[in-house]
Amino acid sequence: MDTTLKDPLVGQVLDGRYRVDARIAVGGMATVYRAVDTRLDRVLALKVMHPGLAADATFVERFIREAKSVARLAHPNVVGVFDQGAEGAYVYLAMEYVAGCTLRDVLRERGALRPRAALDILEPVLAALGAAHRAGFVHRDMKPENVLIGDDGRVKVADFGLVRAVGSVTNTSGTVLGTVSYLAPEQIEYGTADTRADVYACGVVLYEMLTGGKPHSGDTPAQVLYRHLNDDVPAPSALVPGLAVELDELVASATARNPDIRPHDAVALLAQAREARAALGDEQLDAMPPQARAEAGPVSTAADDDDRTDVIPRALPAEEAEVHHTARLTMPPPVSQPPQRRATARGPLARRGVLALVLAVIAVLGVGAGVWYINSGQFTRVPAVIGKSEKDARRQLDQAGLDVRKVRHDFSETVPRGSVINSDPATGERIRGNGSVTLIVSRGPRIVKVPQLVGKPLAEAERKLRKAGLAPGVVTRRFDESVAQGAVIGSDPEPGSSRSPDSAVSLVVSKGAPIEVPDVTGDAVADATAELEEAGLKVKVAAQRINAPQEAGSVARQSAPEGTKLAAGDTVTLTVSKGPRMVEVPDVVGDNVDDATAELQAAGFAVDVEKSFPFLGETVESQSVAGGDEAAEGSTITIKIKGL
């Protein structure tokens, strides 16, 4: 049934300017219409707040905030806002109209996308969010419904209705904003949302594009929340075998449960996405995904029934919560904790707050009081890994059920290079089972000395540099009769010089005593090979033979001319002659001597002129090879001048 016919706004003109032509979409807080700006004669989208909410100052303020925020961005991948106004009970935004569909429409129709298509969508989304983050805004509601794909292929981010300034995003004791399937763990547990919450949501969206399904499922929104809080987002390749490991790593980086391990904003994630793309070949980028969506298992009913923004009744706290879409999740603050400490609490009071959140979710959403949250209290302690090698530390953390998501490097005067200085969380601290730990690994002392390398074989010298905390640099080679071939003659900087760790050290390596190449052209191949090998050189015979003055089967050409200096073991390539090319000799008898000479030379011959004394005139009397016969190209033709 076409409900557009029943919409009272269709056919009306708002504010004497915007003619409403058709309804596009309906959400929990607003309806979007296609309209025409009658002053400028252009099609646009009108986002009109539901009249029942227009009397609420909080919702009106959010509308105005969205208009101002997006107007400040002016980014090609952000749906632009042209105007904001109100007429009677209707509060509206006049926005850019994007003819096309949403990413949700694409995923519903096609399921999993090819990696190239997924990255082609992700990158402009991150560019838009990056502009917002650098301008000081957090979107807070990233999901496929808010990614528009135009008929011309342009990708744009929409619905900045939940946008907040980065500096103002702190702990909210009463509500959690966002979409259940895309909420970051810190949003659920502490009510905080900064740029890293948008990064997490983009990681979930990328997972969904690569697999066709959401990473965390459940029969209720509360179960989905629990999994975001306690389970890592799985690798997409677990559902779509054959996906490149770089894509798994990109999803893992963006969806790390510890926000400190994630890229700090969308700009940083965009850089990682571009690095991942650069590492993939065309075959990996264009791999046709299986319809993994059907195999993804049951998804949250709340997540698939409706993807619009819903508003919980006003009896709840003022900010909206989300049931998959943007439903309110009431989170009563711990009454025994002073308000100024709620944002940083991490102890029993904070955990009681999480439990209160979950119980409130169950109550608000009508979910039966179950036991799904009981196991979320399971913790383990970070084992002692300080002083261990990075490899051993990883092994010990893995045995404890913990994961290493990030490794940082820092200087240490006491801990050897490559060993663990510290961990975050620190040794003995409690962490959720299967949680993530950051390792801080030593780079060695802040200043290191260049070791003595003269006389060392190149491979050994490079090992010594790495062990000292330096990097092998450019290698140049030169002849040296006193230092064995392949051994180091010197370094730059010189031994004993002080340098920062990881500085490059250039090496000069001996080519040994020089060998002067003999002339072997015209020799039989076997003889030429023996002479060169006796001099300490290697010989390669070219597969293709050439016409040359040398006798067939002998050496016509050598790659290193006579007198060239080479190192022992260098290769000289020999090209074998297949004899001279035979050319027809022109008939020049009776011609002027100058004309005859020119004609013979043009045919490829050398010319010798014989004159009998006394002689008359300049006419050719005879030639050594008769005209019409063949002679070797380059050979000499003798012509005689007529005498008395």
Catalytically active residues, by annotation = 141
Would you call 611 helix, strand, or coil by DSSP?
A: strand
Angle, in degrees to the nearest 10, between helices 195-211 and 103-110: 30
CA distance 587 to 643: 19
91: amino acid identity, one letter = V
Closest CA to 321 of 191, 157, 129, 158: 191
CA distance 616 to 613: 9
Tokens of 48: 């009109």
Whether omega before 425 lies within 30 degrees of 0, making that bond cis, reads yes
- Name the phi and psi angles at 398, rounded to 5: -60, -40
Tokens of 322: 């989300």
CA distance 316 to 312: 7
Burial 160-174 (b: 16+ CB within 10 A, else e): bbbbbebeebebbbb
Tokens of 16: 């004497």
518: amino acid identity, one letter = P
Would you call 31 helix, strand, or coil by DSSP?
A: strand
Q: CB-based contacts of 575: which residues, under 8 Å, 6+ apart?
A: 541, 542, 544, 545, 546, 555, 556, 557, 558
Tokens of 487: 């051994």
- Name the phi and psi angles at 223, rounded to 5: -70, -35
CA distances to 79, 94, 99, 365, 411 from 156, rounded to whole Å, are: 6, 16, 11, 32, 43
How remote is the C-alpha of 414 from its chain's centroid? Answer: 36
